[in-house]
Amino acid sequence: MLGFAIRRILMLVPVFLAVSVIIFLMIHMLPGDPIDNLLRIGAGPDQRAALTEKYGLDRPLYEQYLYWIGNVVQGDFGNAIVQRRPVASLIGQALPYSLTLGGLALLVSTVLGITVGIIAASFKGSWLDQGLMGGVLFGSMLPNFWIGLLLILVFSVSLGWTPVSGARGWESLILPVVTIGLGGTALVARVTRVAMIDAQGRDFVMLLHAKGVHPVVIQLRHVLRHALIPVVTILALRIGWILGGAVTVEVVFARPGLGSLLIKSLNQHDYPVVQASLLILAMAVLLGTLLGDLLQAAMDPRIRDNLK
């Protein structure tokens, strides 16, 4: 297992470098310049040239990239050009809000998705199965920002049950968590349903039925355990995507977090902050993939044996 883990980690190194190059080039190809946000009205070309040189923006792109990635691997994300603070400090303030929101949303989508998948698989082909899967599929097709606005209109504006925006207390988490969690429910439910239906057709399930074991016990204790391998993989992959999905939701609900910081920095063309934020979101996806592979290999030794 240790050798498998080391091989998977080493495979992430070239992917990380490729992602960092794409992020760096993408940011520097955007129109605009962070120096525009620092210059006062009427500033001359000499002042612009001085600031450009101060922040190293006059150097070739490959030199800027090598300098940036060299500092990143040492844990230094540099200083924000516009906000004039260490990038690590800005991200350190914003990341806990995004992790809390993403973690609770992942919990909601996991519990709801697995529950719906179990019920649908237990009543395969019935109206209940079709209704549940059709409902979660329809919900997954709706954009997160639209669901968020609809929830605000109903539960905050009309009923007054929850705050409209902000991060004041646990009540302000309810609507954002539901908004993100509903988006991942359909995928988890579909994977759970398919995996359980596949496990139900195996010989050991027929043997348990022949022994007179109660169907509920068979479903929850035996079938579900064998069906969890692909579900765990999907849940690990969802870690990074949920953090990415929190970007738009944080803007809709005016919550502090990595998404709000990213949007603000994009508007200011603050290269170091945008690059660091996007790199963290990309690393969340990569680490989620790694976690899924490790959990899958731990639950099914045949997977790591095939990759030796």
The ranges assigned to domains in the chain are 2-73, 107-307
Helix (H) or strand (E) holding 192: helix 171-200
3-state secondary structure of 75: coil
Q: How is residue 82 written in tokens?
A: 């516009």
Distance in angstroms (rounded) separating the CA atoms of residues 136 and 183: 9
**What's the confidence (pLDDT) of residue 130?**
84
**What's the confidence (pLDDT) of residue 231?**
80
**304 or 239, greater pLDDT:** 239
pLDDT digits 0-9 by tens, 123-160? 887 888 888 888 877 877 777 778 888 888 888 888 88
Q: Would you give the DSSP letter of residue 1?
A: -
pLDDT digits 0-9 by tens, 82-110? 778 888 888 888 888 888 888 888 888 88
**What average pLDDT does this structure show over 50-55?**
73
Among candidates 288, 299, 277, 278, which has minimal Cα distance to 227?
Answer: 299
Q: How many residues appear in the chain?
A: 308
Q: Is the pLDDT of residue 306 over 70?
A: no
**What's the confidence (pLDDT) of residue 228?**
77
Place of tokens 């969340």: 284
Per-residue pLDDT band at 273 (split at 50, 70, 90): confident
CA atoms within 13 A on the CB side of 298: 10
Q: Are 80 and 38 in contact (CB under 8 A)?
A: no
Handedness of CA 198, 199, 202, 208 (dihedral sign): negative
**What's the confidence (pLDDT) of residue 36?**
67
Distance in angstroms (rounded) separating the CA atoms of residues 30 and 55: 18
Lowest model confidence (mean pLDDT) among 11-25, 58-72, 162-176: 162-176
Strand segments (E) across 128-245: none
Provide the 10 A C-beta neighbour count for residue 227: 24
CATH code that applies to domain 107-307: 1.10.3720.10
pTM for the full model? Answer: 0.76
Q: Is the pLDDT of residue 294 over 80?
A: no
